[in-house]
Structure 1
Amino acid sequence: MPEIQRLRAGHAAALLAFERENRAYFAASIPDRGDAYFARFEERHRALLAEQEAGVCHFHLLVDGDGAVWGRVNLVDVADGAAELGFRVAERVAGRGVASAGVRRVCELAVAEYGLSSLRASAAVDNAGSRAVLARTGFTHVGEVELNGRPGLRFVRELVG
């Protein structure tokens, strides 16, 4: 399994490679980031690091021994002891437990390092893989939501220290 690392400036090249290599795969289940994301990646990366430094987000990468990114697990919109969890893994490692392991580890960090008590997450109704990861990692379905014009499901997980 890959190591989980907090996002840092030195991850930029590997993260961009991960996003480019998996762009079509991700776009099949979630909205595409668009060409501007890739054209202005360095600027966006710096902005993410600033958000993380401010404590409003916590970004994590799943990195193998060679420094290649296998996935991302992020906590965004941190406020009042809660955050929104989002994740994605490379097509080449999908279905191998990488996403579940990463989400579990970030849930541990959410309590131990960031002092959070609950997480929210959403997944498109037709994204069976993400729904399965959320179920396996202790999230409970609490309702429906619209995700960029697509039907989705809302999940929560209460965290214990």
Structure 2
Amino acid sequence: MDIRLEPLRREDARPLYEFELVNREFFETAVPGRGDDFYRYEGFLERLGELLDEQAAGGSCFYLIKDDGNRILGRMNLTDIDAVSGSAELGYRVAEAYGGKGAASLALKELLQLADDIGVRRILAKTTTANVASCKVLEKNGFLQIGTDDREFILNNETMRFTHYEWRHK
């Protein structure tokens, strides 16, 4: 599978909005929903503007995972970038149709190379104990599990906990 990461741009608004709409139900099986406002185009555009402002200020880097046909397969983000400590937090989501096909692993591999270019040498990530696929993606790319929360919560009638990961540039 050929994929690439592209920085988030305002020109991607419509296809990204459609990506989010198509995958809403799937995403909400693994993470809390973003609320109905996010899925109204005006609300989505407002949130997109906030993300682009945050990216322009250097606090985050937002990327789209695209294939050679320019289709959006997912999103991958570095947020809470701390230039002093060289740390950031990772977040990503891949469309249901592309799960299990290596898109997330390939995109994360590329992101880790880009991280060095922006001075990020330590990345924290978290997922749920129920999201085995995400744990595998992180571990395949050199993230080490550093702990699991004691507190349980229920999402979609399933009891789970957050598990935390860390990656350090070598």
Fold shared per TM-score above 0.5: yes
The bucket for the TM-score relative to the shorter chain is: over 0.9
Q: Distance in 2 between matches of 1:101 and 1:108?
A: 11
- 1:131 is matched with which residue? 135
Q: Which consecutive residues of structure 2, in runs of 5 or more, have no partner in the other structure?
A: 155-159
Query: Contact between 2:3 and 2:106, CA under 8 Å: does it hold in 1?
Result: no
- Give, in angstroms, the shift of residue 36 of structure 1: 1.3
Q: Distance in 2 between matches of 1:148 and 1:45?
A: 29
- Give, in angstroms, the shift of residue 30 of structure 1: 0.9
Question: TM-score, normalization: structure 1?
Answer: 0.93
Superposed CA deviations along residues 122-150 of structure 1, whole A, max 9, x for unmatched, are 01000011111011011000012368764
- Give, in angstroms, the shift of residue 67 of structure 1: 2.9
Q: What secondary structure does 1:67 align onto?
A: coil
- Structure whose CA Rg is larger: 2
Identity across the alignment (%): 34
Question: TM-score, normalization: structure 2?
Answer: 0.89
Alignment CA distance shift 1:8-1:99 (3 Å): same
Superposition map of 1:2-151 within 5 A: 2-39=3-40, 40-79=43-82, 80-112=85-117, 114-145=118-149, 150-151=160-161
What value does the CA root-mean-square deviation take over the aligned residues? Answer: 1.5
Q: Distance in 2 between matches of 1:55 and 1:147?
A: 34
- Give, in angstroms, the shift of residue 37 of structure 1: 1.2
* Aligned length, in residue pairs: 159
- Give, in angstroms, the shift of residue 2 of structure 1: 2.2
Q: Distance in 2 between matches of 1:29 and 1:121?
A: 15
Q: Distance in 1 between matches of 2:145 and 2:33?
A: 25
* Amino acid across the alignment from 2:146: V
Query: Contact between 2:78 and 2:91, CA under 8 Å: does it hold in 1?
Result: yes
Q: Distance in 1 between matches of 2:132 and 2:80?
A: 25
Q: Which consecutive residues of structure 1, in runs of 5 or more, have no partner in the other structure?
A: none
Query: Contact between 1:14 and 1:67, CA under 8 Å: does it hold in 2?
Result: no
Which aligned segments of 4 or more residues in structure 1 are displaced greater than 4 angstroms? Answer: 146-150
Q: What secondary structure does 1:138 align onto?
A: coil
- 1:153 is matched with which residue? 163
Q: Distance in 2 between matches of 1:61 and 1:108?
A: 16
Q: Distance in 1 between matches of 2:167 and 2:101?
A: 23
